[in-house]
Amino acid sequence: MSDVIVLPFVLAPVVLVAAAFGLVVHAVQRAWAAEWPTLASPRALGLVSALALSGTLTLYAYAHMRYMTTFQPQDLCMLRAGVRGVPDARSDFPLSLVCGGAEVVPVWINPALFVLPVIGLAAMAAAVRYASIRPDRKSSQV
């Protein structure tokens, strides 16, 4: 696999942790300033977007490495389902591995891989919209 393809999956957990930490710091700063009603801001929405989108890449990388990666296809079913033989069906997106007529990939992974990007893109759109309609604080203090 090319390094260009692997790089996002390596950086995604780092971005995930950094976004979660940034969101916690933002919430604590707002709590100290007693601004709970105005917790929604472009910064918070951007951090939620980064959290959801990097979470999507992290989950996909984890699930793909856990359920789909092996050097020999016949070993996949033995390792994951305890069934000898090659997989009945295998798909990278949506993630699917069928061994002996049973799906090996947990049922919650594919819905999460569809919902997380929607949350991330919605938060990004809301951040852009909120930042564009919010009056500039510096120019109004003149």
Q: What is the pLDDT of residues 63-87, one digit of tens each?
A: 988 888 776 777 888 887 888 888 8
Give the 3-state secondary structure percentages of the chain, helix then strand then coil, rounded to 5.
Answer: 70, 5, 25
pLDDT higher than 80, residue 137: no
Question: What is the SS3 assignment for 55?
Answer: helix
Q: Give me the residue spans of the domains in the chain.
A: 3-70+108-140
Q: Which of 41-45, 52-56, 77-81, 106-110 has the lowest mean pLDDT?
A: 77-81
Band the pLDDT of 42: cuts 50, 70, 90.
confident
Indicate the pTM of the whole model. Answer: 0.79
pLDDT higher than 90, residue 56: yes
